[in-house]
Amino acid sequence: MNNSQPANDSKSNTEKTVVIPLLVIATILAGMLSPMQSAVNGQVGKLVGDGNVSSVISFGSGLVVMAVIILARKSTRKQFASIPSKIASRKIPLWNWFAGCCGAVIVFSEGATASILGVATFQTTLISGMVISGLICDRLGIGVPEKQPFNFARILGAVLAIVATILVVLPSWSAPKVIVLAILPFVGGLLAGWQPAGNSAVAEETGSMLVSITWNFIVGFCILGGVLLVRVLMGQISFDFPTTWWMYLGGPLGLASIALMALLVRGLGLLLLGLASTAGQLVGSILIDWLVPQLGSQVYLFTVLGALVALIGAGVAMIPSAKKHVAVSELGN
């Protein structure tokens, strides 16, 4: 009998007890970048009067930053140049290469709705979709090495996150326009659960997280830029670029968020990642709406209660499952 096995299991459990909470805290802090990006892109959309323009500016600024980083190193230039052949090889499912589409929907909805909905309302409708998507992705083993079952704690955590969403948007439900506008970020949230998984897979395939993030921005920029170009050529829109420097920070904030989430998803799983980032997003949204009201909206008691429920939901989801996870390699047999 191998007596070292119980000791190894105990060591592994101890490491999880220490590491998982640290990863959750890091995810909460990373989640605060999202409402900052929403506030910036929302103000750009309000200034230029078009969400498509705002999203192109956001993706463009992020792409410029990543291009400088990628071109500065020979290794990343080589890794980036390998993308066409790797796509053709089909070693990873094709959808992974188009994870940037998810970001495109979210950034477009930021420019189109965030300044009208308010940062907290925007973020929480986005969160509701993300929680549902994360629950499904974790169960299917998408983006994580092991399937994570629908145990009571995880489902309860997801339900609490949705309750938090309802609480935060409750003060605005009497306005039909708000409900209609909230549909767009909700759809973005449904797609967002797949984005970290796709970016992580591309990073493994290319050997570089930086290359993965750059590719993510290229995909989003091409989609949104192509739509905007068609609209300009058809004479449907004309605009002037913002002259305020901070209005170009949406892209850098977004790429920082993408990078952190792609790194953290392996240690937490998509559902727990979504719940912890929910707490950060809600806390960040409240701070923006409260401290910088011209960028956000009024802070209600329900907003604070919603943030508290989201924090509880993240904590509940951390309760370990009594069931062993099903390895992804065992699927399909």
- Greatest alpha-carbon pair distance for the chain in Å reads 77
**Residue predicted with more confidence, 277 or 252:** 252
Please state whether beta strands 146-147 and 326-327 pair in parallel, antiparallel, or not at all (unpaired): antiparallel
According to the model, what pLDDT value does residue 295 have?
Answer: 62
For the cut 60, the answer to whether the pLDDT of residue 16 exceeds it is no
Weakest mean pLDDT among 35-44, 93-102, 152-161: 152-161
According to the model, what pLDDT value does residue 6 have?
Answer: 55
| Size (the chain), residues | 333
According to the model, what pLDDT value does residue 163 have?
Answer: 82
Secondary structure class of 17 (helix, strand, coil): helix
Assign 25 a pLDDT band (cuts: 50, 70, 90): confident
- Average pLDDT of the segment spanning 106-129: 80
According to the model, what pLDDT value does residue 215 have?
Answer: 92
Helix (H) or strand (E) run with residue 327 in it? strand 326-327
According to the model, what pLDDT value does residue 1 have?
Answer: 52
Query: Per-residue pLDDT tens for 214-250?
Result: 998 899 999 999 999 999 898 888 888 888 899 999 8
Angle between helices 209-233 and 100-117 (to 10 degrees): 60
* Amino acid in the structure at residue 12: S
Query: What's the number of CA atoms in the CB half-sphere (13 Å) around residue 45?
Result: 27
Weakest mean pLDDT among 140-144, 200-204, 306-310: 140-144
For the cut 90, the answer to whether the pLDDT of residue 64 exceeds it is yes
* Amino acid in the structure at residue 202: V
According to the model, what pLDDT value does residue 127 have?
Answer: 74
- Average pLDDT of the segment spanning 22-26: 83
For the cut 90, the answer to whether the pLDDT of residue 110 exceeds it is no
* Amino acid in the structure at residue 209: M
**Residue predicted with more confidence, 299 or 91:** 91
Average pLDDT of the residues of the chain: 78
For the cut 70, the answer to whether the pLDDT of residue 142 exceeds it is no
Distances in whole angstroms, Cα of residue 133 to Cα of each of 11, 125, 186, 204, 314: 32, 13, 11, 22, 16
- Average pLDDT of the segment spanning 312-327: 55
Ramachandran bin of 326, using left for φ above 0, alpha for ψ from -120 to 50, beta for the remaining angles: beta
For the cut 90, the answer to whether the pLDDT of residue 171 exceeds it is no
According to the model, what pLDDT value does residue 228 have?
Answer: 92
Distance CA 97, CA 136 (A): 20
Q: Which residues contact 234 (CB under 8 A, 6 or more apart)?
A: none
10, 27, 34, 84: which is closest to 288 by C-alpha?
34
pTM: 0.75
